[in-house]
């Protein structure tokens, strides 16, 4: 059996698959007080009858930079990669590290794998990956567009362009949000960049900002508070002053909740238009994530008044875990790395 653990900034999801990739059971736990050990314990309670049959565990990891392959067995080198990029994904990489260590302890019979979200975008065109800053500084600090939500965007592309002959825009809209332009099965642009903060406004992250705003705020309130602001108190939560949960905001009737929704949809529509231009046309827009899949109203707002483009609107219930499980099953142990067990 293959157990997939999907560690978020405040949640821990799991899916357990048999050898035929049938989903045996699954769950989603909110992590209180960053106590991931307790959440792993809850998972063990639910799957205890299958423990001895679990031979493989996969962990979704958000940031592997340019160093990580899509699937890597958990070794000392793999853990170093996750740690190296933790400052660029502070909400996700450190919790993933913690859960991997807990899983090694709790499932000693299983081989552990890391599945890196950034790998899908490794071959973005150079003109897309390169930021217009001093080239030598960018090279020194590995400042390029990495892209995120790779498994989600890949799943949407595989589902709605299996023959790799379409021009599609995929939109992963959940707590984190990103859009990608995919041509003939290959991503050619994506909204998240060096970190998962760039791009669309999100539940608590700002998305695109004038960089001088960051510098100005750092001078006024300090770097630490500025970082907390753009990652934890911006986006839907920052504008509404109420909640970052889109499905909650849709039930609110006050001005700032409505404004948050309108800004979110307006900016998503701007990306849709930009990526249509980049693709040179558009066959389909595919939505996934709790918002993208879960709200017809949001889908309609983002795609309204665009009938002249004559594209299809599709939606896909997220199943990153299944893709990860299938990819892990094809892994060939040819690496010389010392596997941690």
Measured distance CA(18)–CA(256) in Å, rounded: 47
Note the pLDDT tens digit of each residue in 289-334: 999 999 999 999 999 999 999 999 999 998 889 999 999 988 765 5
Structure tokens of 284?
């389909």
Cα gap 293→213, rounded to integer Å: 33
Q: At what angle do helices 36-47 and 93-106 cross, to 10 degrees?
A: 50
Q: How far is the C-alpha of 257 from the C-alpha of 239, rounded, in Å?
A: 7
Residue 9: the pLDDT is 72
Q: What is the pLDDT of residue 10?
A: 74
For residues 39 and 12, the answer to whether their CB atoms sit within 8 Å is: yes
Which one of the listed residues 20, 67, 117, 253 is annotated catalytic?
Answer: 117
pTM: 0.90
Active site (annotated) includes residue 161: no
Query: What is the tens place of the pLDDT at every residue in 21-33?
Result: 999 999 998 888 7
Question: d(Cα 82, Cα 86) in Å, to the nearest integer?
Answer: 6
CA distance 21 to 328: 12
The fold of the 2-122+321-329 domain, in CATH, is Nucleotidyltransferase; domain 5 (3.30.420)
pLDDT tens for 126-183 read 999 999 999 999 999 999 999 999 999 999 999 999 999 999 999 999 989 999 999 9
Give the pLDDT band (50/70/90) at residue 34: confident
Start and end residues for every CATH 3.30.420.40 domain found in the chain: 2-122+321-329, 126-310
Look at residue 253 and tell me whether its pLDDT is greater than 80: yes
Q: Which fold has domain 126-310?
A: Nucleotidyltransferase; domain 5 (3.30.420)
């Amino acid at each position: 059996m293959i157990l997939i653990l999907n560690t978020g900034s405040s949640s821990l999801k799991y899916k357990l698959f048999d050898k035929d990739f049938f989903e045996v059971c699954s769950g989603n736990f909110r992590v209180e007080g960053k106590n991931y050990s307790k959440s792993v314990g809850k998972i063990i309670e639910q799957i205890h009858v299958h423990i001895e049959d679990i031979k493989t565990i996969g962990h979704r990891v958000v940031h592997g930079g340019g160093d990580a392959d899509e699937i890597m067995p958990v070794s000392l080198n793999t853990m170093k990669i996750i740690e190296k990029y933790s400052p660029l994904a502070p909400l996700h990489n450190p919790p993933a590290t913690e859960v991997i260590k807990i899983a090694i302890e709790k499932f000693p019979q299983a081989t552990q794998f890391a599945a890196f979200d950034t790998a899908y975008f490794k071959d973005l065109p150079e003109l897309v990956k390169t930021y217009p800053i001093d080239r030598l500084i960018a090279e020194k600090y590995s400042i390029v567009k990495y892209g995120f939500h790779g498994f989600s965007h890949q799943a949407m592309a595989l589902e709605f362009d299996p023959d790799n002959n379409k021009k599609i825009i995929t939109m992963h809209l959940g707590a984190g949000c990103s859009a990608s332009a995919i041509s003939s099965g290959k991503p050619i642009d994506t909204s998240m960049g060096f970190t998962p903060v760039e791009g669309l406004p999100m539940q608590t992250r700002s998305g695109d900002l004038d960089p001088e705003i960051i510098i100005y705020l750092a001078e006024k309130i300090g770097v630490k508070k500025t970082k907390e602001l753009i990652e934890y108190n911006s986006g839907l939560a920052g504008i509404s002053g109420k909640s970052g949960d889109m499905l909650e905001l849709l039930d609110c009737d006050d001005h700032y909740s409505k404004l948050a929704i309108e800004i979110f949809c307006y900016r998503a529509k701007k990306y849709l238009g930009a990526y249509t231009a980049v693709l040179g046309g558009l066959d389909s827009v595919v939505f996934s994530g709790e918002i993208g899949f879960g709200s017809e109203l949001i889908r309609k707002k983002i795609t309204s008044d665009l009938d002249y483009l004559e594209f299809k609107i599709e939606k896909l219930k997220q199943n990153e875990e299944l893709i990860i499980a299938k990819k892990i099953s094809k892994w060939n142990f040819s690496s010389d790395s010392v596997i941690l067990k």
